[in-house]
Amino acid sequence: MLPPSSPTGWADAGGTDVVRRELSEEAIFLARLVTELIPNAAEALGLLALTLYVEARHDARRDESGEYVPLTEQDPARWNAPMIDEAEATLFRARGLGSIGRYQLEAAVQSAHVFRRRTATPNWEAVAQLYDALLALSGSPIVAINRALAVAELRGPDAALETILRIEDARLMEYQPYWAARAELLARTGRRAEAHQAYETAIGLERDPAVRRFLQKRQRAVNT
């Protein structure tokens, strides 16, 4: 089974699961502790920045009625600004150490998304370049999926769909974000029947009721 698209502690975006909330808080605490013990470890700083970026968006992942809100539709005013500022400063400090690793690149992707959402300035070229570097470093199929979605913004859904269909990893068959991304790209290229089926698979793999409702809404839009 592939790992989730975000750490376990952040899977409960509504914040109703006490155990998961404690996990996310503990992850940040431990990341801080490591940076204090090894202050010149660039990847430790990168990991801390990454956890801060993810946690900073916690309150924006649900609307007032508890429905799931994807990053592209979140209100930046609901983000934790001091936490994002700390993440940015931490990532800048890591970059100054001259050693680039996976956590720093993942944090840099988050920083690029924050910049775009805050300024309404398209920066998909930068996002795609970061994913290129991350993919070269990790070879992760999850990174390949996210890179394909960035490609969709740069070169259109047909190019992105071609990219995502070339990813070969049997574990993706049980990975909800893969099917959700595939469904969206199929829908954007007009392949409605295939998109409907891909959404059906994504819905079946998703355990969070709010995310399931979100996917069902997207599926209904394909049928209209």
If DSSP codes are grouped into helix, strand and coil, which group holds residue 224? coil
Delineate the domains of the chain, giving CATH numbers in brackets: 6-121 (no CATH), 142-224 (1.25.40.10)
Beta bridge mates, 68: 62
For 56-77, what is each residue's pLDDT tens digit? 999 999 999 999 999 989 999 9
Per the CB < 8 A criterion, the answer to whether 89 and 105 are in contact is: no
The pLDDT, as a whole number, for residue 9 is: 35
Q: What is the largest CA-CA distance in the chain?
A: 56
Rounded to whole angstroms, how far apart are CA atoms 192 and 184? 10
pLDDT tens by residue, the chain, 224 residues: 343 344 333 344 444 444 455 788 899 999 999 999 999 999 999 999 999 999 999 999 999 999 999 998 999 999 999 999 999 999 999 999 999 999 999 999 999 999 999 999 999 999 999 999 999 999 999 999 999 999 999 999 999 999 999 999 999 999 999 999 999 999 999 999 999 999 999 999 999 999 999 999 999 999 88
Q: How far is CA 62 from the centre of its chain?
A: 15
What are the helix and strand counts (H, E) for the chain?
10, 0
The pLDDT, as a whole number, for residue 20 is: 56
The contacts of residue 176 (CB under 8 Å, 6+ apart) are: 202, 205, 206
The pLDDT, as a whole number, for residue 8 is: 34
Rounded to whole angstroms, how far apart are CA atoms 120 and 163? 27
Beta bridge mates, 62: 68
The pLDDT, as a whole number, for residue 21 is: 57
What are φ and ψ of residue 124, in 5° steps?
-65, -30
Q: How far is CA 39 from the centre of its chain?
A: 27
Q: Which of the 8 DSSP states describes residue 161? A: H
Tokens (6 digits) for 33: 């502790």
For 95-128, what is each residue's pLDDT tens digit? 999 999 999 999 999 999 999 999 999 999 999 9
Per the CB < 8 A criterion, the answer to whether 131 and 145 are in contact is: no
Rounded to whole angstroms, how far apart are CA atoms 177 and 118? 25
Closest CA to 219 of 198, 193, 190, 199: 199
